[in-house]
Structure 1
């Protein structure tokens, strides 16, 4: 067991966005989360690295780190959680006034206060890894959407997290740019990264996932291997969703 999520709940006012979520993630596994808009997918992802603070629930990691929500939490504990999970955002979230290289070095240098030379070497190797060695001195406006997203992946890797989180990493991209980003994620999968990916790309989910979660109205409706959830769903709601995505 890499990460255990128990009883995770989150409300915004009277709207219950997450309703008692329970998940177990094994090390090196790739979990993809699918579901309609407003089902709580992104909120769940953001709760896993303290971008949103759950109202209740417990996150327990394999190394003994555990955080229980519902009481006042120390900032140090939340910072430790945020360092464990690197986040790749739907809309890139790059600093527009910083180069690709500066975007990647920002977290390790400013937040983690790491050695500048080591961070620069790491950032350059990560940009090479995502196929952007020749773009490191360009600014976001000089890059395509797919290139910006790959910078985002390098930036998330730069904090050296244990868990990678992807929030609809291809949904803002033109169709011809999707493949480059998915290839980078597939390469990370081959390296054995533990990942949670929110996606609407069902074919991609089928190819890379160890397990697929279908969410609706803040709840996990179904979870299982891709062959079961996508091809032989047990729940009618899952089947309806897949049919609408496949045959819009």
Structure 2
């Protein structure tokens, strides 16, 4: 479920569940967690690129799996794990660069902006689809607000706009924008430059700035998760999850 290779000191990790548009199932999140651990512990790796197998980066949470959760506790646990993995990206000593092609929806959007740097194709489509589906995104909004500020983060969280990569970069949610098809190449080039720097100084830089960007992130994720579970009690959200679970 995770494609793995190392190029010139850069570990390339690819979400590889194309039949589900790389949606974040529990198994995929577990595989990503394991792959991040391996890359972090590999002395030959100085930086990490996170990307997705075609057709896009990530379509967000697996709604079918969410809908099959047996109760609210199981639903909360299903979303707690990807939130923890997203927060972990900022805690790794090695920089993580996202390469986004095709689309970054919902949890895929948040996973990308949780990386240290983001490269997006100009024609990639970005959208937080949770609120239009009836619920608050359950994790990662602190990372989004750290990038774009709370006012723009609120606009993006409402999810009424689908934005291309050029617009997302202009808003600050991505760092680099490239022509379609070029995101991985640019991300590799950026990551190679980072990998060539003294690793202790790179790690110290991440550790210095991270508290400014994720202060209170765990408690805010817990609050968002509670709101998400409450929202999922509403008829519209419940009907959506039942449909994806095959109950309607």
Q: TM-score, normalised by structure 2?
A: 0.26
**Bigger relative contact order, structure 1 or 2, given CA contacts below 8 A and separation 6+?**
1
The structure whose residues are more often strand, as a share, is: 1
Larger Rg: 1
